[in-house]
Amino acid sequence: MKQAGVGVAITGCGAAAPDAILTNDQLSAIVETSDEWIHSRTGMRERHILAPGQGLSELGTQAAAQALAMADVAPESVDLILLATSTPDDLFGSAGKIQSELGATRAVAFDLTAACSGFVFGMVTAAQFIRTGLYQTVVVIGADALSRWVDWTDRTTCVLFGDGAGAVVMQADEERDRLRGVELCSDGRLNHTLNLGFGGKTTPLTPDFSIDLGGYQPITMNGREIYRFAVAKVPDVISKALFRAELDATAIDWLILHQANQRIIDAVAQRMKMSSDRVISNIHEYGNTSAASIPLALDGAVRSGKIQTGQVVAIAGFGAGLSWGAAIFEWGR
Ligand code: ACO
């Protein structure tokens, strides 16, 4: 299906993770769990965690700078910076800080929130600005630090998440459209199954006037329900993106799913009849880094030489909202 407007190319990627690593064995000293339980249920062995005082925007800046270097684009040439995150350093948004730290002086910058689907939603949003001709060069960053927002006494959630950032450069391409097909979905009826909700404390300002003041509740998740949802919906959304791309699953060289659980990745790949050697996974090293997980995995696969220029990559994110989405693109140009 021909997309209207200017073509889009994904020309660079980058990634960053904090130095500090928390292993499954270390987690066993914090909550009642074990390396065996975590690894067999999720595929995770360790995750990277932000150091006290370290900003998520530092990681986002590093990832974006690497992506710009790979694309051979100067920061001053960037038109738009989109930061997909649910855990900004600043609730007013952290994209502006990244813009300034990168030296992307011409760029407009804003945050976008769609939890673990945020990077896919960010790429699709960026593509609209390019297709209409408004912008030529966009940096999309996925970055999250869920370590800040889990209840570290709740073993059902705290073992799952890690911190990180990944980024891509997306550019106008007059010759060929390399972003072949996309599909985005939401179902707010399931919103209650995964939340990082506002939980302000009711505070009187005067005897007859009260407000709810500051504070978010730690993450709550119905793991089994999200698992079922992901295994059912992700193959479907990839099929729809493939339909728009006028491709079938055999055209996919590499599948990169949101890294939430190795069992979900395996089940989706199996439903799509994709052999495991075409599926990218880094979950053992990073855990679930939410909006960062897809670009972190993409960057690892590009830099290790797995993903080559012109190959077809299918990405799919899913998570809170609930939200899910997929994009099919040819890497590089
Ligand atoms: N260590 C040891 N035991 C544990 C742990 C732990 N860390 N966590 C849970 N258990 C126990 C439970 O208490 C339960 O015990 P019980 O049977 O005595 O009640 C048992 O293990 C099984 O629990 P389940 O929840 O059924 O375990 P499951 O196999 O479903 O795995 C998991 C849980 C890993 C969370 C899985 O359901 C999952 O991955 N769900 C999807 C999560 C996801 O994809 N999130 C994506 C989006 S994240 C975002 O958008 C921010």
Report the amino acid identity of residue 182.
V
Domain end point (choices 177, 204, 226): 177
Contact 125 CB / ligand 1 (< 6 Å)? no
Residues 235 and 253 in one domain: yes
In degrees, rounded to 5, the angle at the alpha carbon of residue 298 between the alpha carbons of residues 103 and 22 is 90
Residue 173 lies in a domain: yes
- Cα separations (Å) of 288 from 84, 142, 253? 15, 12, 23
Do 235 and 302 sit in the same domain of this protein? yes
For ligand 1, whether the C-beta of 71 sits within 6 Å is no
Evaluate whether residue 68 is within a structural domain: yes
> Per the domain annotation, does 204 fall within a domain?
no
In a domain, 306, yes or no: yes
Tell me: do 170 and 241 sit in the same domain: no
Q: Is residue 2 part of a domain?
A: no
Q: How far is CA 60 from CA 88, 100, 224, 235, in A?
A: 10, 12, 31, 29
202 is a domain residue: no
Ligand 1 centroid to Cα of residue 150, in Å, is 14
Q: Average pLDDT of 34-63?
A: 98
Buried b (16+ CB within 10 A) or exposed e, 152-166: eeebebbbbbbbbbb
Partnered with residue 232 across adjacent β-strands are none
Query: Is there an atom of ligand 1 within 6 Å of 230 CB?
Result: yes
Q: Tell me, using a 6 A CB cutoff, whether residue 162 lines ligand 1.
A: no
Give per-residue pLDDT as tens, 10-22. 999 999 999 999 9
Q: State how many domains the chain has.
A: 2
In this structure, are 168 and 237 located in the same domain?
A: no
Residues 48 and 186 in one domain: no
Final residue in a domain of this structure, among 119, 149, 177: 177
Averaged pLDDT, 168-175: 96
Residues 31 and 134 in one domain: yes
Same domain, 47 and 169: yes
Our mutation pick for probing the ligand 1 site, out of 22, 41, 225, 324, counting the most ligand atoms within 8 A of Cβ, is 41
From the CA of 33, give the closest atom in ligand 1: 1
In a domain, 237, yes or no: yes
Residues 132 and 238 occupy one common structural domain: no
Clarify whether residues 185 and 320 are in a common domain: yes
Question: In this predicted structure, what is the pLDDT of residue 3?
Answer: 73
Does the Cβ of 41 fall within 6 Å of ligand 1? yes
Q: Is residue 91 part of a domain?
A: yes
Which of the listed residues 149, 161, 227, 259 should we mutate to test ligand 1's pocket, taking the one with most ligand atoms within 8 A of CB? Answer: 227
The region, left, alpha or beta by phi > 0 then psi within -120 to 50, assigned to residue 182 is beta
Q: Is residue 155 domain-shared with residue 294, that is, in the same domain?
A: no
Beta strands in the chain (DSSP E): 7-16, 21-23, 46-48, 80-84, 108-112, 137-145, 163-173, 179-186, 194-195, 201-206, 209-213, 220-221, 254-257, 279-280, 312-319, 323-330
Q: Verify whether ligand 1 is closer than 6 Å to residue 260 (CB atom).
A: yes
Return the active site residues: 116, 258, 288
State in Å: Cα 226 to ligand 1 middle. 10
Is residue 37 lining ligand 1, measured as CB closer than 6 Å?
A: yes
CATH code: domain of residue 140: 3.40.47.10
Q: What's the mean pLDDT in 70-78?
A: 98
Same domain for 36 and 152, yes or no, is yes
The pLDDT of residue 5 is: 82
pLDDT at 167 over 70: yes
For the cut 70, the answer to whether the pLDDT of residue 2 exceeds it is no
What is the distance in A from the centroid of ligand 1 to the CA of 281?
A: 19
* Cβ pair 149, 69 in contact under 8 A: no
* Range of the structural domain that residue 131 is part of: 7-177
CA 223 to ligand 1 centroid distance, Å? 5
pLDDT computed for residue 4 by the predictor = 74
Q: What is the Å distance from ligand 1's center to 158 Cα? A: 10
Task: Give tens-digit pLDDT for 255-283.
Answer: 999 999 999 999 999 999 999 999 999 99
> Are 153 and 184 contained in the same domain?
no
Q: Which amino acid is at 10?
A: I
| Contact criterion met (CB below 8 Å) for 14 and 69 | yes
